[in-house]
A and B are shown apart, each in its own frame.
Chain A
Amino acid sequence: DADVTQTPRNRITKTGKRIMLECSQTKGHDRMYWYRQDPGLGLRLIYYSFDVKDINKGEISDGYSVSRQAQAKFSLSLESAIPNQTALYFCATSDFGQGVGTDTQYFGPGTRLTVL
């Protein structure tokens, strides 16, 4: 079974609709992240959470909100979807540590979102 799962895997929606993307993990990591990926722009951080009570904005949080329901679950919402939010969305998790490589991030399979 995959350690990081995302639902849905594909979604087509219309402008103005509210949509939620969900992420679950069984790795036992405290830290979780939401990214979007667009062609030519690489991965950009939307929101991140270091534990259930610690949620932070990333580089491109406008138009998005998140909820950390439990250590294992981190949801991303688009309150009113617009076409330029069409992208590939990834959830990731990481452990906490001081050593080299301990901040390795592990990604879910992604959600392909299309906003018409």
Chain B
Amino acid sequence: RKEVEQDPGPFNVPEGATVAFNCTYSNSASQSFFWYRQDCRKEPKLLMSVYSSGNEDGRFTAQLNRASQYISLLIRDSKLSDSATYLCVVNRPSNTGKLIFGQGTTLQVKP
């Protein structure tokens, strides 16, 4: 089992659609969770950290379910500019400072 698993997609959606990505992680002791966005051939950039209570940033909502070891990202009112690969990222426990990156889910928003 991979340490962080994501559906690679691609997800093809029309502008204005709502789309959800899911991610599972294997180590129940992980404490930090993130969603990063990566555009083609560019560096990953932090989209949002994921907190236990769930958090929202504009059109983006992240949820964490520790019992199921599951993280989600919801994008509402998709824009063309949301087209990218979204990486689910989890820390290695015991304050190692290391992160584990999922392979990413590709989103293509079409006019």
Interface residues of A (CB under 8 A from B): 31, 33, 40-43, 45, 48, 50, 58, 88, 90, 94, 96, 98, 100-110, 112
Number of B residues with CB within 8 Å of any CB on chain A: 22
SS class, residues of chain B in contact with chain A: loop
CA distance A31 to B103 in the complex (A): 23
The interface residues of chain A lying within 8 Å CB-to-CB of B31 are 100
The interface residues of chain B lying within 8 Å CB-to-CB of A88 are 41
Chain B nearest CB from A50 CB (Å) reads 6
Interface residues of B (CB under 8 A from A): 31-32, 34, 41-46, 49, 51-52, 87, 91, 95, 97-99, 101-104
Contact of A103 among B41, B43, B51, B97 (CB under 8 A): B97
Given contacts A103-B32, A104-B34, contact A109 B49 (CB under 8 A): no
